[in-house]
Amino acid sequence: MGQPTLTVVAGPNGSGKTTLSLELQLIQPANHLNADDFARLRHLQTGQALEDCERWAFAEVRRLQAGFIQAQRSHSYETVLSHPDHVRRALEAKRAGFHTRLIYIYLSNPDENVRRVASRFRSGGHNVPEDKIRARYARSLGLLRYAVASFDSALVMTNEGKSPDKALDLIASGGLVQCRSTLNRRIDEYSGSSDRWEDHGLFAGQSSGGWTEYCGDRSLLAQSKTELVHRRDGMLAGF
């Protein structure tokens, strides 16, 4: 039996996590946990207030995940990633022998998140208050560097109808991180100047075409811009 994998599909409310998770399940079937689905089902079955059902659902996902980790079973779950506890959970899985993978999807403007959640609600989906959407968006982007530095591999992309090469904003694997400058600036808006890649043990290397490489071991950084581009292509192919 190979190494078990924990895949976390993350991003602010309305970014497209559930749609992406369904697509991933078709490619790589695994045990998938969605707290929103659990909460809606409990609400329908019991008639309890939705907020109470949401609290129960998050606890239930945590309980099930602990069982998967103990049983060494690959699994995935969705999260807004607005609290560092989700990163700590990934670190727990890593210590238990899992390969941890983060797939983060977001929109470049929280106004669009608000619009998409409202549209989803009108179509029968679950609602999230606007103030919560905006607050979670800020916390989620503010935690992104910490999360990327903590997972074994990571992929960050926008969900705005761009071509795959233009939608990709970050890829990380094997201790290397390549990040687009536009994403760095967006993270800075929400994390402040006190949060840098260096604060998470990563040093900057070569930059080319709006991308910069980071690594905790300076000797592993690309030595040329050409190597930087080729390395990113290889990382993406192996993700």
Architecture per CATH, 5-237: 3-Layer(aba) Sandwich (3.40)
Domains of the chain: which residue ranges?
A: 5-237
pTM reported for the whole predicted model? 0.92
- How far is 61 from 46, CA to CA, in rounded Å? 18
- Supply the pLDDT for residue 121: 84
Query: Which is it for the CA torsion 2, 103, 14, 83, positive or negative?
Result: positive
Reduced DSSP (H G I as helix, E B as strand, rest coil) percent helix, strand, coil of the chain, to 5: 50, 20, 30
Query: Which is it for the CA torsion 213, 218, 224, 228, positive or negative?
Result: negative
User: Which residue shows structure tokens 């609400």?
Assistant: 43
User: 37: alpha, beta or left, given left = phi > 0 and alpha = psi -120 to 50?
Assistant: alpha
- How far is 211 from 176, CA to CA, in rounded Å? 13
pLDDT in tens, 5-21: 999 999 999 999 988 88
* Nearest CA among 94, 237, 88, 218 for reference residue 173: 237
Distances (CA, A) of 45 to 33, 49, 64, 148, 214: 19, 11, 20, 38, 49
pLDDT in tens, 195-238: 899 999 999 999 999 999 999 999 999 999 999 999 999 999 88
Residue 216 is classified by DSSP as S
- Supply the pLDDT for residue 20: 87
pLDDT in tens, 30-75: 788 888 788 888 888 888 887 888 888 888 888 999 999 999 999 9
Query: Which is it for the CA torsion 207, 230, 169, 145, positive or negative?
Result: negative
